């Protein structure tokens, strides 16, 4: 009996056996045609675990027949790379598949780079992390192809499972397995687009099933028990976790309640409550802002409650906060104004503080000319409080404007006050 895992045995032997990733390596793509014509470029394959990075690398090697060496960057040392270089001296060219390439240290990179540049080594790097964040630029610049893979669809996963069930050489085709189409679909749903997980789940279900002589009878309860949490992916430190945070904020900004709750649910299932709370507070001020200033206090209260409650109860106040932010009026005018002021300061657009605004709470301040400040509270103006015309910006920045009000929600009222004050300023 073959003791290798089913997922290993079912790896595609060539490009035409790959299931999924049609936009990356399908027959209509330039990459497929390039490899079929005998040219394999160095490339980076980026995506979640189990969606085909390793399989594509092996399929490329099987299609081209170029010598193939696979290493893992977490365990490979300089001697391993030297052995690859020695192989190129014998064969002329080698495909080096380097899994977890973002873990490669600088010494290994420096030794490898000239060989990749000459073409002696065709580098296929695989990473679960965003290569533009986590892969050394020197490596990236030598990889002409950077491809982001996606999870398999349910239909593609079903095709993969059916192939494994019928394949007599590498799959389970020689076994008498009683399984329904609905159960195959259930396994596909449990795998959540992870090809390796789907095949592992199928194999486990077969050997955990009731056996009637030589017939394996698959049961729904076994699939459910083995499947566990279906959809959770993305650990607390991975790129996909930050993608989830980004999707949550953009969905709230776009006022899509359903999408926002979906991404909140996914983030809470991952379990990093601190990061979720931090992002929700940012959203309250970045995207709601002056249009509904009370939201900031409401979100802070929800976050504080979630911290005291912990998961799973924390989901209750956070759901209220997310729905409120989705349906609130929105404005980013305040922080955009501040960012413009920061940009001016960093670019050197600065000036001296007017003398009448400088600290005058010490003897000798008058001798320095720190006089002339008018106390606004001494100049009542309607129900606004106090206001008096005087210069506040440095002289060389006089007339500079940063804040551009948006007539949204509560900010509409603030915008009217702003415009009225601007009219007072412009009066001679």
Q: Give the range among 59-63, 105-109, 180-184, 322-326 with minimum mean pLDDT.
A: 105-109
pLDDT at position 284 is 97
Nearest C-alpha neighbor of 23 from the set 150, 168, 123? 150
Using CA atoms, how far residue 423 sits from 46, 385, 416, 419, in Å, is 56, 17, 11, 6
**pTM of this prediction exceeds 0.85:** no
Nearest C-alpha neighbor of 252 from the set 264, 240, 242? 264
Tens digit of pLDDT for each residue in 59-106? 999 999 889 999 998 888 878 888 999 999 888 899 999 999 888 877
- How far is residue 308's CA from residue 386's CA, in Å, rounded to a whole number? 42
**First CA to last CA distance, the chain:** 96
Tens digit of pLDDT for each residue in 274-285? 999 999 999 999
Does pLDDT of 332 surpass 60?
A: yes
Does pLDDT of 128 surpass 80?
A: yes
- Provide φ and ψ at 98, rounded to 5°: -120, 100
Tens digit of pLDDT for each residue in 148-158? 998 899 999 99
Does pLDDT of 228 surpass 90?
A: no
Tens digit of pLDDT for each residue in 188-224? 988 888 999 999 999 999 999 888 888 999 998 899 8
Using CA atoms, how far residue 132 sits from 47, 152, 168, in Å, is 13, 23, 42
Q: Cβ distance 351 to 396 under 8 Å? A: yes
Q: Cβ distance 236 to 271 under 8 Å? A: yes
Average the pLDDT over 125-148 and give the result.
Answer: 86
Does pLDDT of 240 surpass 90?
A: no
Say which DSSP state 37 is in: T
Nearest C-alpha neighbor of 284 from the set 270, 295, 271? 295
- How far is residue 164's CA from residue 178's CA, in Å, rounded to a whole number? 14
Cβ atoms within 10 Å of 262's Cβ, excluding its own: 15
Q: Spell out the domains of the chain, with CATH numbers in brackets.
A: 21-148 (3.40.50.300), 154-227 (1.10.8.60), 239-327 (1.20.272.10), 348-426 (1.10.3710.10)
- How far is residue 57's CA from residue 125's CA, in Å, rounded to a whole number? 9
Q: What is the dihedral of CA 43, 46, 51, 57, to 10 degrees?
A: 20
CA dihedral for 185, 189, 193, 199, sign (positive or negative): negative
Using CA atoms, how far residue 237 sits from 247, 278, 290, 355, in Å, is 16, 15, 33, 50
Q: Cβ distance 107 to 80 under 8 Å? A: no
């Amino acid at each position: 009996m073959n003791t290798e895992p089913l997922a290993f045995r079912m790896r595609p032997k060539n490009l035409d056996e790959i299931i999924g990733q049609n936009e990356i390596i399908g027959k209509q793509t330039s990459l497929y045609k390039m490899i079929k014509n005998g040219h394999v470029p160095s490339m980076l394959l980026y995506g979640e675990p189990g969606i085909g990075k390793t399989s594509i690398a092996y399929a490329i090697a099987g299609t081209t027949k170029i010598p193939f060496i696979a290493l893992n960057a977490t365990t490979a040392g300089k001697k391993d790379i030297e052995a690859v270089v020695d192989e190129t001296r014998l064969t002329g060219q080698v495909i080096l598949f380097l899994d977890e390439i973002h873990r490669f240290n600088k010494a290994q990179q420096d030794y490898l780079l000239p060989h990749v540049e000459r073409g002696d080594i065709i580098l296929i790097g695989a990473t679960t992390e965003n290569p533009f964040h986590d892969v050394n630029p020197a490596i990236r610049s030598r990889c002409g192809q950077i491809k982001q893979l996606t999870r398999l669809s349910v239909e593609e996963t079903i095709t993969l499972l059916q192939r494994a069930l019928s394949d007599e050489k590498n799959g389970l085709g020689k076994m008498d397995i009683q399984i329904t189409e609905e159960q195959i679909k259930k396994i596909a749903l449990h795998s959540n687009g992870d090809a390796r997980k789907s095949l592992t789940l199928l194999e486990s279900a077969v050997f955990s099933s009731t056996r009637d002589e030589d017939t394996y009878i698959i049961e729904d309860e076994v699939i459910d028990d083995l499947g566990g949490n279906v959809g959770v992916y993305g650990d607390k430190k991975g790129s996909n976790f930050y993608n989830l945070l980004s999707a949550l904020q953009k969905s709230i900004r776009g006022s899509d309640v359903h999408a926002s709750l979906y991404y909140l649910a996914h983030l809470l299932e991952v379990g990093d409550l601190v990061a979720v709370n931090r992002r929700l507070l940012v959203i309250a001020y970045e995207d709601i802002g002056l249009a509904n200033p009370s939201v900031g206090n409401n979100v802070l209260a929800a976050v504080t409650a979630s911290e005291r409650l912990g998961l799973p109860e924390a989901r209750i106040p956070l759901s209220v906060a997310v729905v409120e932010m989705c349906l609130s009026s929105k404005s980013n005018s305040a922080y955009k104004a501040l960012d413009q002021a920061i940009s001016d300061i960093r670019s050197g657009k600065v000036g001296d503080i007017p003398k009448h605004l400088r600290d005058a709470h010490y003897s000798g301040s008058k001798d320095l000319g720190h006089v002339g400040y008018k106390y606004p509270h001494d100049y009542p103006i309607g129900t606004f409080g106090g206001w008096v015309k005087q210069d506040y910006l440095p002289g060389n920045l006089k007339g500079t404007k940063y804040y551009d009000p948006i007539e949204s929600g509560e900010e509409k009222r603030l915008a009217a006050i702003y415009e009225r004050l601007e009219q007072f300023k412009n009066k001679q």
